[in-house]
A and B are shown apart, each in its own frame.
Chain A
Amino acid sequence: MNCRAHDLIWIDRGQLRAPVPDTELPDWVVNGSGPVVVRRAPVDSGWIPVGVRGESKAQRQPAFAPLKAISKHLDPYTLTATKPWLAHCERNRHPVLIALCKLAPLLNTLPLRWGVTGSLGYEFATGERQLRPESDLDLVIDATAPICREQAAELIGLFGTASCRVDIQLDTPMGAIALAEWAGSSEQVLQKTDTGPRLTKTPWAGEKDEGVKPC
């Protein structure tokens, strides 16, 4: 199984282990239910780094999940392909859903895979209420193939203004960058990789091949 950041995995909570050896996970993690979210960190020989969502926003717990014990796995692209927002009772009311209903048809005209992540993605996957009045719309675009800065700027122009803050991440094989930053004028952009953040001019290239042009 190939797990990437933002994927949701279902697992017996008792199988999770704390990120630091010989420490215990909080009771709300072990006794809670619902899927956990793959986070960006090095995979530790068969253990997937995950984040556990609690009831309040402050309750976020990093943990590791044993690959062998995963009962179900859902990536944001598969989740989004079923257009779950069409069945959401607040699709005409909540700013995040209004923004998504406007953006989805635009995104679906593009030859790109995209998905909903964050609180709304979790809500779609579980049916549990996660959206708050102040929630952002979090999206990910599969950027396995390079997207050049001009294309990024065209995408930003195409999407226009939204009814809430929209955070679109480009998921490159090296890690994630913000679409808006890649479309902007800053020479270096921040990339979140499995081994930590870096500033780079070439998000599709490793540290050793900085000279490679994105496209």
Chain B
Amino acid sequence: METLHFTRPARAAEIQPALVGYVGSGDLEVMIEPLQGSQTEIHIQTSSPGSEIRWRQVIEQIEARISLPAMRMDIHDFAATPGVIRLRIEQAIELASAVEASA
């Protein structure tokens, strides 16, 4: 397993903890915890070596579609494709932000 760490600017937002995904080949698990301040910390454990550039690209693609809330995001990746990664992260953010939508 390889560990990657990204810090990205984010907006302060009220979110709730969220856990989505699946521990299995070609999939990943995404956990979100609220974080004070205006940044997002992303911690990734991945079974795909040398994938830092690909992860950076996926995160940039998500930022282009969604304004990231301040959060800590922990990812356990089991060689998921970029398409699966994007869907899972967006699913987790949607679930974490559900409290915001209903407030």
Contact = CB atoms under 8 A, between A and B. Distances in A.
Interface of A: 58, 118, 136, 138, 165, 167, 178, 180-181, 186, 188, 190, 192, 196-199
A192 B25 contact: no
B6 interface: no
A7 to B, nearest CB: 17
Contact of B87 (A118, A181, A190): A190
Contact of A181 (B22, B25, B83, B84): B22
A190 B27 contact: yes
A197 B87 contact: yes
Contact of B84 (A118, A138, A180, A197): A197
Contacts of A178: 22, 24, 27
Nearest to A60: B79
B23 interface: yes
A167 B25 contact: yes
A199 B25 contact: no
A197 B83 contact: yes
B39 interface: no
Given A58-B49, A190-B84, A197-B81, A180 B91 contact: no
Contacts of B9: none
Given A58-B49, A188-B91, A199-B91, A167 B84 contact: no
A199 B89 CA distance: 12
Nearest to A177: B22
Contacts of A198: 87
A165, A188, A196, A197 pick with most chain B CB within 10 angstroms: A197
A141 B7 CA distance: 40
Given A197-B81, A197-B83, A190 B88 contact: yes
A199 to B, nearest CB: 6
A118 B21 CA distance: 20
B25 A190 contact: no
A136 B79 CA distance: 14
B10 interface: no
Contact of A118 (B22, B25, B83): B25
A190 B49 contact: no
B60 to A, nearest CB: 19
A118 B78 CA distance: 14
B20 interface: yes
A190 B22 contact: yes
Contacts of A188: 91
A138 B25 CA distance: 9
